Amino acid sequence: MIHIAVQKKLTAVEGEMLLDVDFTLEEGKLTTLYGESGAGKTSIFRIISGLLKADKGLITIKQKTWLDTEQKIYLKPQQRKVGLVFQEYALFPNMTVKENLFFALEKGQDKKIVDELIAIIELGNLQNRKPQHLSGGQKQRVALARAMVRKPDILLLDEPLSALDPKMRAKLQDYILEVHRQFKLTTLLISHDIGEVVKMSDCVMIIENGMITKQGNPIDIFTNQRVSGKFQFSGEIVQIQKEDVIYIVTIIIDANFVKVIAQEDEIKDLNIGDKVIVASKAFNPILYKI
Amino acid sequence: MNILKGKITAVKTNGNLSLVEIDVDNISFKTIVVETPDTASYLTKGNIVKVIFKETEVIIGKGVEHAVSMQNKIVGKILTIENGELLSKLTIDIGVGNIVSIITTNAVQELRLQVDEKITAMIKTNEIMLSE
């Protein structure tokens, strides 16, 4: 069990804000922090990794205390087993992919892990290239592998995919899930994409003004009315067309387009770019083996 | 979406499926859902729920007597008919409110459906969703 309870006064755009969160993470689960910019998500990551000092708090990870302000325990960032991936790639430009991974090894650590990660994240063809010769998606795969080298007790992903196009994003999401499962990691993700949150997370926490206002299963959190339909996805509206007496709404779900028939009074509240839940009953879809 | 509010009057569960009966102002609706009172706490007798079904799933029968397998048969009156090239939109007054049905324009013509006509709106048991 991982327990994080921290308080920190932050200077935000609108003045001072108190970051005050207290949550536990189940080991092996992926939890997402969802909230507006400036709500305190990245500050939570910086406090966990030791880059920002909390005013008050307690962080225990796998029975080890990383922070306890009352007992004056404060582990240095390098003593904390954290894997971090940011939106920016932050790879060493003068080193090849493999060298970047080797550089992350701890003193005396078995180098086998590097080859293992190269295999899982499919970096074999790229391992001798330098970052400048890699695409954005490839760089993020390397950054993910590098964050994993020290087998972190907690993996922190701060909007790692937001600079990538939807197709690349979907692929990278699969790599992250694969690594998360294979290494039985406890992962915290920051994401603004509801589709991504629903696909990736076991649990989501909504952060508003430094506080956790809601938490639970992503579908329950993002569905205002809990519909009994078992065929549910969340996506984004990309097109609304009028046909005859009805409307055809096109929605992108991950990288797939679906079309749903809607009525005029439903369309009134819907705009292109809106996030929606697409729901149908489990009785309607057919399965066609490919 | 057609949305009506009603009270659950019966829940019969078998495995993962439940057959739920809802009373909407003395009109009885039946739906089968892949939920049980354990997985969806709102499936309790006496609870108020929303009964949701798609306009395209509302079948229209002329008159009132129909021997068909459909469990949800509601007698109503056609308020408006909006004819499109292929599809037509019918607004039906069922006493507790209006519902909308989308059927083919061919069907409207074959049945010679007219405004003010008494019809039966029918929805299959598995086409109704529930929501809190």
Query: pLDDT for B93-110, tens place per residue?
Result: 999 899 999 999 999 999
* pTM score over 0.90: no
Q: Hey, of B83, B130, B131, B132, which one would you mutate to test binding to chain A, going by the most A CBs within 10 A of its CB?
A: B131
Q: Do A246 and B1 touch (CB under 8 A)?
A: no
**Token pair recorded at residue A49:** 């990794």
Do β-strands B2-14 and B17-24 pair in parallel, antiparallel, or remain unpaired?
antiparallel
CB contact under 8 A, A261 and B82: no
For residues B98 and A176, give the distance between their C-alpha atoms in angstroms, rounded to a whole number: 49
Q: Which domains does chain A have, with CATH numbers?
A: 2-222 (3.40.50.300), 231-280 (2.40.50.100)
Inspect the interface and report whether the beta carbons of B35 and A281 lie closer than 8 Å.
no
Distance CA B96, CA B51 (A): 13
Which residues of chain A from 232 to 261 reach within 8 Å of chain B, CB to CB?
A: 244-246, 261
| Residue B130, helix vs strand vs coil | strand
Q: How far is CA A159 from CA A19, A211, A249, B78, in A?
A: 20, 19, 29, 53
The string of pLDDT tens digits covering residues A143-195 is 999 999 988 999 999 999 888 887 888 889 999 999 999 889 999 999 988 88
- Which residue does chain B place closest to A262, by CA atoms? B1
Asked if residues A238 and A252 have their Cβ atoms less than 8 Å apart, the reply is yes
Cα angle A219-A222-A223, degrees, rounded to a multiple of 5: 75
For tokens 């078998």, name the residue.
B14
Amino acid occupying residue A273: G
Task: Say if A220 is an interface residue toward chain B (CB within 8 Å).
Answer: no
pLDDT at B111 over 80: yes
3-class secondary-structure state, position A157: strand
Q: What is the DSSP string of B29-63?
A: EEEEES--TTT-TT-STT-EEEEEE-GGG-EEEES
The bridge status of strand A231-243 relative to strand A275-280 is antiparallel
Q: Is the pLDDT of residue B38 over 60?
A: yes
Q: Which residue of B has its CA nearest to A283?
A: B126
Q: How far is CA A116 from CA A10, A26, A113, A249, B49, in A?
A: 40, 26, 5, 45, 52
User: B102 contacts in A (CB within 8 Å)?
Assistant: 245-246, 261
Q: Which residues in A lie closer than 8 A to residue B1 (C-beta atoms)?
A: 263, 266
Choose among B1, B84, B130: nearest Cβ to A245.
B84
User: What are the start-end ranges of the H helices in chain B?
Assistant: 105-110
A227 touches chain B (CB under 8 A): yes
The tokens for A243 are 């046909």
- The answer, yes or no, to whether residue B4 has pLDDT greater than 60, is yes
Check residue B81 and give its pLDDT. Answer: 97
Per the CB < 8 Å rule, is A263 touching B55? yes
Residue ranges covered by each domain of chain B: 2-131
In order along its 290 residues, chain A shows pLDDT tens digits of: 899 999 999 887 777 899 999 999 999 999 999 988 888 999 999 999 999 999 999 999 988 999 999 999 999 998 999 999 988 767 899 999 999 999 999 888 888 999 999 998 889 999 999 999 998 889 999 999 999 998 899 999 999 988 888 788 888 999 999 999 988 999 999 998 888 898 899 999 999 999 999 999 887 787 654 666 778 888 889 999 998 889 999 999 878 899 999 998 889 888 888 888 898 888 888 888 88
Q: Considering the domain B2-131, what is its CATH architecture?
A: Beta Barrel (2.40)
